[in-house]
Amino acid sequence: MYRFLLTPRWWGINVFVLLAIPFCVFMGSWQLSRFEGRVHDHRTATEQATADGHTAARPLSRLLPVDQSTSGQRVTASGRYGEQLLVPGRELDGKRGFYVLTLLRTDSGKALPVVRGWLPGTADAAKAPAPPTGEVTVTGSLQASETPGDNGVSAEGGLPAGQTAAISSASLVNLVPYRLYDAWVTLERGDSGMKAVPASAPAGTGLDLKAFQNLGYTGEWFVFAGFVVFMWFRLLRREIEFQRDAALGLVPEEPERAAVVGG
pLDDT digits (tens, 9 = 90+) for 167-190: 999 889 989 999 999 999 999 999
Total-model pTM: 0.63
Q: How far is Cα of residue 130 from the mean position of the Cα atoms in its chain?
A: 36
> What mean pLDDT is predicted for residues 214-229?
90
Report d(CA 199, CA 74) in Å as an integer.
10
Confidence of residue 141 (pLDDT cuts 50, 70, 90): very high
Neighbours of 164 (CB within 10 A): 21
pLDDT: which is higher, 144 or 256: 144
Phi/psi for 68 (5° steps) reads -65, -25
Is pLDDT above 70 for 79?
Answer: yes
pLDDT: which is higher, 258 or 3: 3
Is pLDDT above 80 for 47?
Answer: no
> Which residues, in sequence order, are CB contacts of 75 under 8 Å at separation 6+?
57, 58, 59, 60, 63, 139, 140, 141, 142, 185
Confidence of residue 263 (pLDDT cuts 50, 70, 90): very low
> What mean pLDDT is predicted for residues 117-136?
95
Please name which of 255, 125, 104 lies closest in space to residue 176, comparing C-alpha atoms: 104
Report d(CA 58, CA 63) in Å as an integer.
8
pLDDT: which is higher, 172 or 152: 172
Q: Average pLDDT of the chain?
A: 83
Is pLDDT above 60 for 254?
Answer: no
Report d(CA 234, CA 78) in Å as an integer.
73
